[in-house]
Amino acid sequence: MRMASLAKPWLCSACLHHARGRTPWLTVSSAITTRRLYTTSRDDRPLRMAVIGSGPAGFYTAYRVMSRIHQAKVDMFEALPVPFGLVRFGVAPDHPEVKNCQDKFEEVASSPNFTFIGNVAIGNQGHHFQGCTIPLASVMRHYDAVVFAYGASKDKKLGIPHESELKGIYSAREFVGWYNGLPEYAHLAPDLTQGEEAVIIGQGNVALDVARMMLENVDVLRKSDITEYAIEALSKSRIKRVHIVGRRGPMQAAFTIKEVRELMKLHGVSFHPVDMTLLPDELSKLPRARRRLMEILVKGSTTRLGHSHKSWSLDFCLSPAEFNGSTDGRVQSTTFEQTSLSSPFDPASGVQTLSDKLQIPSSVVFRSIGYKSVALPGFAEAGILFDDRKGIIQNDGFGRVLQNTRSDVTGNGEAITLPGAYCAGWVKRGPTGVIASTMEDAFSTADAIAADWNAGSPFLSTANNHGWEGLRAEVNKDKCQVIHWEDWKKIDKAEKERGFLVGKEREKFPSTDAMLAAAC
């Protein structure tokens, strides 16, 4: 089957290219309720499955399970009133094509066997959370299976002096959430007016997104779904030079061709050339993708230095050591230690820190060194093993959750899994990859669920497997507002109407209160 024959795009063209030929997902392209690839082995009693998280991992797992288990019923829980996770709050506003997967998610949600349950968090979220909360133990009592697909909600820290005390230091996650309308960061208000130089620590694609938002012409961004308060702040920005700093070299960098090329082509923005000693003499001998990336770095930007009003650089082989502040408690510069690569042209080269130091002026700093998942309240009581160091739920590699027993392995060396508990996405494998790799990962988990169900393997207790209908009474005790799909569509409609008034696709509501009001 050719990808072009799909009635609705699952992914943007870049993600389709990434996924081509990698997994058998292309064999499952028909409507959810029209193709039955497996039959149940339980007298056709429908599987009742809860999915915690409404991002790509959750939706792709739901889709695959509903395709492979006849009449499977899926209830999807989301702490926010709105769905789509990082597709809504993590994808850069000027990358609307990446959000094409929402069409597939809309199709999933249209199934009568699917229920969206928004503004409902699993486990005690603390006093700051204003929505509904349900104990994890209650969820596990009412479903055959629970899939944890709630992503990575925390960012990693550098752990260097003055990181937490100086003003003007932000995480990339905060900044991305701020300009994308994540209510948690609506009041971040990053000050971009204190100076002309910004430092981004980390060289992944998120770091390049952050740089592009500061360097792009604001009038170009106005046409996207970036928040109006972000447009206002960016229009007042004084930033003219952005340093994107990494510990290793260009051959080890995590950024990809598309994101680098976009920065190189920004109108009126120039690129400071890389140190050519960090590149192999014969680029033609490199693997194709790495060769193309190095060629882009060598070629540089469309706008040359001296003919631009803004510029950016990739500063390699520098490790952050300390933030330095001004008398008013703001970050003023960043001290870096130079590093040395054991094999500069080896993508897996080791790195060691040298004694030489360098200071870079920094009127604002963004930390972009990765995200991290955290355990949900109730994991310990449920016996779910969570690796705090890696920030993942321990699993067998196919998404089956490992349980907390006295011994992690049986006598024959097989991991002990918790029946009916599964995970998918970043909380399963760590915060890496693009939407296409998340889809593949989610399908792997869904296939494990289908295989277990059809093999008659043990699942969660089925005595009270009434799903959402069984849980509704517990939620109603809190007298809080639950958002279902038809309520989300009201929010969606209102946001598009708000966007129309300012000449763009949508203007997101900046608070959960505003979202809930629009759903009434």
- Known binding residues are 57, 78, 86, 122, 203-206, 247-248, 259, 426, 433-435
Nearest 5 degrees, angle CA 113-CA 119-CA 390? Answer: 90
- C-alpha angle 25-385-89 in degrees, rounded to nearest 5: 55
- Evaluated on CA atoms 18, 150, 179, 502, the torsion sign reads positive
Strands 48-52 and 73-78: parallel
Nearest-CA neighbor of 241 among 382, 364, 385, 402?
364
User: 68 with 39: CB under 8 angstroms?
Assistant: no
CA 227 – CA 323 distance, rounded (Å): 30
How far does Cα 219 stand from its chain's mean position? 26
User: What's the rounded Cα separation, in Å, for the pair 80 and 217?
Assistant: 31
Tally helices (H) and strands (E) across the chain. Answer: 17, 21
Give the DSSP H/E element, type plus range, for residue 270. strand 269-271
Q: Which residues are known binding-site members for NADP(+)?
A: 203-206, 247-248, 259, 433
| Distance from the first to the final alpha carbon of the chain | 44
The tokens of 451 are what?
């295989």
DSSP letters of 466-507? -THHHHHHHHHTTT---B-HHHHHHHHHHHHHHHHHTTSS--
Contact status, residue 55 vs residue 144, Cβ threshold 8 Å: no
* 220 burial via Cβ count (<10 Å: 0-12, 13-18, 19+): exposed
Residues in the chain: 520
Give the 3-state secondary structure of residue 271. strand
Cite the annotated binding site for FAD by residue number: 57, 78, 86, 122, 426, 433-435
Long-range contacts of the stretch 348-352 (C-beta < 8 A, 24+) = 348/252, 349/248, 349/249, 349/251, 349/252, 351/247, 351/248, 351/317, 351/319
What Å distances lie between residue 425 and 152, 281, 371, 460, CA to CA? Answer: 9, 39, 13, 21
Q: How far is CA 413 from the centre of its chain?
A: 34
Q: Please tell me what DSSP assigns to residue 384.
A: B
* Cα 185 from Cα 480, distance rounded (Å): 23
